[in-house]
Amino acid sequence: MRIRLIAVGTKMPAWVEQGWQEYVKRLPREISLELVEIPLGTRTKSSSTAAAIAKESDAILQAIGANDKVIALEVKGKDWSTEQLSGQLAQWQMDGDNVSLLVGGPDGLSDACRARAQVHWSLSRLTLPHPLVRVLLAEQVYRAWTILANHPYHK
């Protein structure tokens, strides 16, 4: 199965890439964790925020696989424990689903992206910086897999 994190923003600090790669390399071959970076829409005094969100949205929607299960990460989404994420991972594997996780830019996801998502998930009620979200997601996918594999990492 493939899990694709489609995230707005590029040019992350080196520690983000290192953290992301650390957890990607730990996952087994049957779980591919990929990152698709979407350029941030231009936000200036003369351009509208709506135009920037629309540009980001178009790129996000194009990056989603045709048959992917789509999960929008949003503050108002449903909270999952690590154990619940592990259960979701098991279900996705059983169903043969590929998954696209959507992370919007500084102004969030567009209505079109929200509508495309079958699930709305919240990592936290806290506002998290985008670089940290990438590493946190990679670690949690790895941790969810360790639960399924009875690996001692989760303990």
pLDDT tens for 102-153 read 999 989 999 999 999 999 999 998 888 999 999 999 999 999 999 999 988 8
What are 14's two structure tokens?
């080196």
pLDDT score of 46: 81
123 has binding-site annotation: yes
- The rounded Cα 85 to chain-centroid distance in angstroms is 13
Domain range enclosing 64: 2-154
35 has binding-site annotation: no
Pairwise CA distance, residues 117 & 121, whole Å: 10
Query: CA angle 31-146-78, nearest 5°?
Result: 80
126 has binding-site annotation: yes
What are 147's two structure tokens?
């639960």
* CB distance 106 to 133 below 8 Å: no
> CB-based contacts of 72: which residues, under 8 Å, 6+ apart?
102, 109, 113, 114, 116, 117, 119, 120, 121
125 has binding-site annotation: yes
Q: What are phi and psi of 22, to 5 degrees?
A: -60, -45
- Each residue's pLDDT tens digit, 79-94: 999 999 999 999 999 9
* CB distance 31 to 3 below 8 Å: yes
How many domains does one find in the chain? 1
The model's pTM: 0.94
Find the CATH number of the domain harbouring 119.
3.40.1280.10
128 has binding-site annotation: yes
Pairwise CA distance, residues 22 & 27, whole Å: 9
